[in-house]
Structure 1
Amino acid sequence: MTPAAAAAQNRDALLQRARELDAADPLAACRDHFIGADTDLAYLDGNSLGRPLKRTVTDISSFIQDSWGGRLIRGWDEHWLELPQAIGDQLGRAVLGAAAGQTIIADSTTVVLYKLIRAAVAAIADPARTEIVLDTENFPTDRYLVEGIAREEGLTLRWIHTDPSAGVTVEQVRAATGPATAVVVLSQIAYRSGFLADLPGITAAVHAAGALVVWDLCHSAGSVEIALDAAEVDFAAGCTYKYLNGGPGSPAFAYVNARHLPGLQQPIWGWMGRKDAFEMGPGYEAADGIRGFLSGTPAVFGMLAMRGTLDLLEEVGMAAVREKSRLLTAFAVELHDAWLAPAGVELATPREPELRGSHITVDHPAFREMTAALWAADVIPDFRAPQGLRIGLSPLSTSFTEVHRGVAAIRERLDAGHSGQPPEGSFRQD
């Protein structure tokens, strides 16, 4: 068999495998709930911004017409004020493994993380604990926040130097923590490599050192199984516009373990976090429980879209979502090995399915220039400097043939001289 014939046979086999995986997928019907999922566009960026649900159009239209338009300001007293905690409780129940009363929807991820880290630092009573531990590959916001807080509070940063193609391990945390550690700030999934950290093991290691941990769940909430209460996590934050499909700029969430809530204070005092918000009186006394982590007026519009996804996640269960995530990323790695590795592309994500979340990263010098051409051709991954292409696979809305179509387009452009037009005779067969 000639090399060309062997390549064609390999393409046909992988396409057939994609179709078989779709046929066997118990979550395949979920894809029908999403706008645009029935087009030929290959959306490989669900880890940055999820597709909207079809029901969101009805939900928002109904809110404008009936709730906002019909009830006007009465809506605040009737149910809007309760939405941050009501949706927070559903998020905790469906996704985070958190009992009621510990999760609330508020602010942006940056603001929520600031509140949680400052509250965690304040909760450490030992003046000898002067260090905040973080890693060099954490998302920029997390690093910048911790640097700023360290400057505000006169604390010292202790950096864990992380392999960009992997992530933080239990052993590294044990080595970096000790009697001087106050707080550790980490992401459960590394935004660049997709590495899935051992959240229970690291949390236990931080507690063994006498410190508190703040987890960033932006790339894990809605894509992997999480058990915050069981792991005795102290604090956690995350966004809702990735795997929770809340839409651009939808508000973040804050989780505070119930054991910390009594007496805990967050640093941004606003009227909505006051015990009696509408008294409008002098002085500030925080509301009881997780509601005390509110500051300003809740972003009601921003909370509406995620409700459909939370309902869907409660229906199918996070175990099924995680299994689909494993299969999707495994298929993406299989396509990388067959099509991209021979073209000089390197996998920058762990090969073991249990060590990665729901995206993989592949590296090649051509990817910076190529990304715009892929987007113009309705193939949408995202680029992360210096040369990484992230392939993000949202389990509820991504099909295996969609992954096949997208990775085939990447190979076409590599064959065509990086960012040029695909060669005659498309590499894709679907």
Structure 2
Amino acid sequence: MTPEDRACERDAADALAAYRARFTLPQGIIYLDGNSLGALPVATPQVLQQVIAHEWGDGLIRSWNSAGWFAAAGRVGAKIAPLIGAAPGEVIACDSTSVNLFKLIAAALAMRPGRKAVLSEPGNFPTDLYMIAGLEAQGLATRRLAERGRLAEALDSDVALLMLTHAHYKTGALHDMAALTRAAHEAGALVLWDLSHSTGALPIDLNGANADFAVGCGYKYLCGGPGAPAFAFVAERHQASLQQPLTGWFGHAAPFAFDDDYEGAPGIDRLQCGTPPVLGLAALEVGVDLIAEIGVARLYEKSQALSEFFLESLMAHDVTLEQVSPARSADRGSQLSFRHPEAYAICQALIARGVIGDFRAPDVLRLGFAPAYLSFADMAAAARHLAEVLASGEWQREEFNQRAAVT
């Protein structure tokens, strides 16, 4: 039986197959880059048109109250909370992942006076490391890096914060959230988890792991659109003592009192800074609602099945590539990454065939499996295209080797 035949059987039995129609996907495209930018939900343009034409157009400034704009950041955050194992009052949708990282790194340092080290791993997503550098330049932090197998032993009395990405952006390798959080706490440090490559695709239990802080973006598996608002989590036990370093007016206890002096809002609202992006929050809410309807447990089960089927399909075509993602699906996020010296050109050749994956420097071909809208037929076809690209050598064509800023 061919991979295509097996794919037909798997798709016929797929309980999530009908959700594909809830997303806008171009004809003839196999989209394996949903871990960079999620597909557009069909309902999003209609919702945005409603917000633009009626809430903004007709309601004007009254819509801050009548349309619930003022409460949108907390409302969307409360909907994200169960997707990451948090309570509704512990999550708010606001700002970008980078900005939220800065806020929470600075807050953690203030909660651990006498300690300045922020511990992470080399190869973490760049913005995570850059945010440490920004605080380091102000004399507030020192950056410390340790290989992932040696993180626990690097936790000493100088470390204020352990900051890690749950699912590695390049390889998909997962950290043991509960074990590392426990190790950090035993060393007197706090923990900040970046969930950008996990939320909406993998089961996460922040409170079960006793996590302190977390951030994540809204435009990958949550399908909130390019530049969608991010989210931030602060465990309830820390909220009263949290010092928000970006003391903008929407994080004030009474923003419309227009006081000269800052007084932080109670609870998670203190994490807000400037005026929330209403259109971005409206689009994000559509994606969050849809992912919540499908259910993370079902998405995770299908994600594992898709990645395993893709590997089986590659084997059926006698394709051998160096896999840099963990071998066991339980140890990786919703992606597979392969190393090849011509990964960039191979990626471009696939895109020319309508198979959109992505490249990560210097030599990684990364394929994301967004289970909400991908099929087993997609996996079989993508594996066939990859096999044909490698066998034909078409990736050697000049146009596929012209590097651009965006792939």
The 1-side partners of 2:315 and 2:156 are apart by 42
1:416 aligns with 2:392: yes
Contact persistence 1:173–1:205 (CA under 8 A): no
Give the equivalent residue in structure 2 for 1:165.
Answer: none
Shift of 1:418: 4.2
Provide the residue aligned with 2:9 in structure 1: 20
Query: How many Å apart are 1:96 and its aligned residue?
Result: 1.0
2:404 aligned partner: none
Report the 3-state secondary structure (helix = DSSP H, G, I; strand = E; otherwise coil) of the residue aligned with 1:310.
Answer: helix
1:57 is paired with a residue of what secondary structure? helix
Match of 1:377 in 2: 353
Q: Distance in 1 between matches of 2:231 and 2:270?
A: 13
Distance verdict in 2 for CA 1:262–1:24, change over 3 Å: same
Q: Secondary structure at the match of 1:335?
A: helix
User: Which of the numbers 131, 142, 148 marks the counterpart of 1:145?
Assistant: 131
Find the counterpart in structure 2 of residue 159 from structure 1. 145
1:337, distance to aligned residue in structure 2 (A): 3.5
**Counterpart position of 1:425:** none
Aligned to 2:61: 73
Matched, 1:122 2:98: no
**Equivalences for residues 78-97 of structure 1 within 5 A:** 78=66, 79-93=68-82, 95-97=83-85
Assess if the C-alpha contact under 8 Å between 1:326 and 1:358 holds in 2: yes
Deviations 1:265-295, CA, capped at 9 Å, x for gaps? 1111111111111111211111111111111
CA contact (8 A) 2:325 2:332 kept: yes
2:336 alignment partner, SS class:
strand
Counterpart in the other structure of 1:208: 186
Shift of 1:420: 5.5
Runs of at least 5 residues in structure 2 that lack an aligned partner in the other structure: 398-407
2:328 is the counterpart of 1:352: yes
Q: Which has the larger displacement, 277-286 or 45-54?
A: 277-286
The 8 Å contact of residues 314 and 384 in structure 2, kept in 1 or not, is answered as: no
Quote the Cα distance in structure 2 between the aligned partners of 1:133 and 1:188: 14
Once residues 274 and 54 of structure 2 are traced to their aligned partners in structure 1, the CA distance between those partners, rounded to angstroms, is: 24
Does the Cα contact within 8 Å between 2:31 and 2:357 map onto a contact in 1? yes
Contact 2:167 2:332 in 1 (8 A): yes
Residue 46 of structure 1: how far off its partner (Å) = 0.6
Q: Secondary structure at the match of 2:161?
A: strand
Query: Corresponding residue for 1:61?
Result: 49
Equivalent residue number for residue 240 of structure 1: 218
- 3-state DSSP class of the match of 1:419? helix
The answer to whether residue 295 in structure 2 is matched with residue 317 in structure 1 is yes
Query: For 2:120, what is the secondary structure of its paired residue?
Result: strand
1: CA distance, partners of 2:213 / 2:338 = 32
* Cα distance in 1 for residues equivalent to 2:7 and 2:366: 20
For residue 15 of structure 1, what is the amino acid of its counterpart?
A: E
Q: Deviations over 1:297-338 (max 9, x none)?
A: 101111112222322233232111110111111122223444
The two structures have a TM-score, normalised by structure 2, of 0.94
Alignment of 1:261-410 (within 5 A): 261-339=239-317, 341-342=319-320, 345-410=321-386
Aligned partner letter, 2:84: L
The yes-or-no answer on 1:226 pairing with 2:204 is yes
- Unpaired runs of 5+ residues, structure 1, are 1-11, 162-167, 422-430
Counterpart position of 1:46: 34
Contact 1:273 1:291 (C-alpha < 8 Å) held by counterparts? yes
Q: CA deviation at 1:139?
A: 0.3
Task: Return the alpha-carbon distance in structure 1 between the equivalents of residues 181 and 49 of structure 2.
Answer: 43
Q: Which deviations, in whole Å up to 9, do the C-alpha atoms of 1:24-55 show, x marking residues without a partner?
A: 21111111100016x22111101000001101
Deviation at 1:77, TM superposition (A): 2.2
AA paired with 2:375?
Answer: S
| C-alpha displacement of 1:204 | 1.0
Question: In the alignment, does 2:174 pair up with 1:196?
Answer: yes
Seen in structure 2, the aligned counterparts of structure 1 residues 154 and 312 have a Cα distance that, compared at 3 Å, is closer
Deviations 1:61-89 (A, max 9, x none): 11112211121100112310100001100
Q: What secondary structure is seen at the aligned counterpart in 1 of 2:208?
A: helix
